[in-house]
Amino acid sequence: MDRPGPRYTSYPTADRFVEAWGPADYAQSLAARAQGVLSAGATAPLSIYVHLPFCESVCYYCACNKIITRHHDRAAPYLAALEQEIALHVGVLGRGQPVSQLHFGGGSPTFLSDEELGRLMGTLRSAFTLLPHAEVAIEVDPRTVDAARLRRLASLGFNRISFGVQDLDPEVQRAVHRVQDEAMIAGLMREARALGFRSTNVDLIYGLPKQTVDSVRHTVEAVAALRPDRVALYAYAHLPQRFKPQRRIDEQALPDGEARVRMLAAAIEAFLDAGYEYIGMDHFALPNDALAVAKRQGRLHRNFQGYSTQPESDLIGLGVSAIGGMGASYSQNAKTLPEYYDALRQGQFPVARGLSLTRDDVLRRAVIMALMCQGRVDFEAFALAHLVELPHYFAAELARLAPLAEAGLVCVDASGIELTPLGWYLVRAVAMVFDRHARADERRAHFSRII
C-alpha cells in the first residue's frame, strides 16, 4: 500500500480540472443556483472558504499555495481584491445568501492584522448572512498569536480554531524550519478553551525528517494531554519536484516506508489509549465532539477542508488558488497573484480552471464519499438514490476489490461493500479502485503516499 493516491476531498480530484472551464462557466453555475436550478436550491446554506496566502517564513514541508514575505503592507491590495471578488458573487447571487460554514485558510491567516481580519469579516457579513450556529473557523500559526489575539479572533465571531503544530521535537522543528515552543502551544490551547471556542484542532505530520517512532509517540502523547477536540495527523507528502521549499529537506533524514508505518501505528495506539476516536483518514476526535457524533450516526461528510458535519452544500472559494464547488461543477481560482489581480481588474471571476461532472463522475463520487465517510456502500440504497444497480455498473471494480478483500481491508457481499477496522486506516487504497482517472494515470507522482 506504500504508493501515491488521492486524499479525496473531491472526486474527480483537482488535478483533473481543465482550463477550458473558466469564468463564464462559473458565472453560469452561480446563476443556476440563484435561479433555484441546482438541486440544493437557492436558499440552501453555502459554505465559504477564504484563502489568505501570506506567511512570514517558509516551512520546508509545506505544500500549500503561499507567499513568503515580511511586508505586511501586501495584505491591503489583497483585501481590496477579495472585496471585489465578493462583490462579483453578490452581483449574481444577490445579497444575504445564508452561510453555515466559513473557513479561513492559508498560508497563515493570522499574517493579517486584527484590523484587517475585522475588515474582511465585516465585508463577508455585509455580503452574506452568517447563520446563528454557523461554523466559523480559522487556521492559526501559533507563532503569530498570543492571548490578546485569540480574544480578538473570538470577538470577530470565530468559534473554531486550528493550530498548526506538526511536531514538538526541537530537532525535527529545526529540520523543517518551524521552531515553536511546546509551552507556548499549551498556553494557547488553554486560552482558546477558556475563551469558549466551540472546537480546537491540532494539525500534526508524521514522516518528517529526523522523526523517530519514539519522537512521534512523545508528540502525540503531549498533544493528547492538552485535549484538543480534534486532531489531524497527516502523512508528509515529499514532492520536491512540485513544491520548491521541500528541496531544502535532507532526503537522507526522511524515514522509510516501514518506519512511517510504525509511526502511524504508534500514533493511532496513543490517541486511542488517550480516549480519542478514529474518525477516518488521518482524523481523530474526542467522543463528544461533533465529528465523532456524526460518524456514529452516519452523518459524516467530506469536502475540500476534510471531514465535516455539514451536509453537502455549495462551496464558494475566495482568494488566490481557492477551490469551490457549485452544483455538479468544481472551480479553482488563478494560482498566482498577478493572474488573480488581473482577472478582477477586468471585472471577471478569477477562475482559472474547473470541471463539470459527468453522470459517471457523480456515481463514482457517491461510492468514494460513502467509503470515506461511512465506511460502507449499501447496494439497495445506492440503487434508490441513483437508479443504478451498483454490482452491474461497477462489476469490474468489484472484481478489483478481491485482492483488498484477501488483504483484510474490505468485505463484499450481496448487500454491499464494507470496510474492515483495518480498512478504515487504508481507505484511500479502497477508494482508488473506483477512481477511473487514477487507474488511467500511471504517473500518480503528484499525489501524496497512502501511508
For residue 43, the model assigns a pLDDT of 67
Mean pLDDT per 10-residue section of the chain, whose length is 451 residues = 80 93 96 77 83 94 90 95 98 95 95 96 98 95 95 97 96 95 95 95 96 96 97 91 90 92 93 94 92 90 83 90 94 97 97 96 95 94 96 96 96 97 90 86 59 68
Task: Tell whether domain 359-451 is in CATH 3.40.50.300.
Answer: no
- Give residue 303's pLDDT: 82
Q: Which CATH number fits domain 14-318: 3.30.70.20, 3.20.20.140, 3.40.50.450, 3.80.30.20?
A: 3.80.30.20
Q: What are the phi and psi torsion angles at 52 (to 5°)?
A: -115, 100
- The reported pLDDT for the residue numbered 40 is 54
- pLDDT score recorded for residue 282: 85
Residues of the binding site for S-adenosyl-L-methionine: 49, 61-63, 106, 139, 166, 178, 203, 237, 323
- Of 332, 345, 348, whose CA–CA distance to 23 is shortest? 348
Question: What residues does each domain of the chain span?
Answer: 14-318, 359-451
Q: Evaluate whether 208 touches 166 at the Cβ level (below 8 Å).
A: yes
- In 66-167, which ranges are E strands? 67-68, 97-106, 128-140, 160-166
Q: Do domains 14-318 and 359-451 have the same CATH topology?
A: no
pTM exceeds 0.75:
yes
Query: In this predicted structure, what is the pLDDT of residue 329?
Result: 94
- Binding-site residue numbers for [4Fe-4S] cluster are 55, 59, 62
Question: Given the C-alpha cell 463564464, which residue does it identify?
Answer: 24
C-alpha triplet 82, 87, 93: angle, nearest 5°:
125
**Of how many residues is the chain composed?**
451
Annotate 15-29 with b (16+ C-beta within 10 A) or e (fewer): ebbeeebbbebbbeb
3-state helix, strand, coil in the chain (%, to 5): 45, 20, 35
Asked if residues 54 and 393 have their Cβ atoms less than 8 Å apart, the reply is: no
46 touches 128 (CB < 8 A): yes
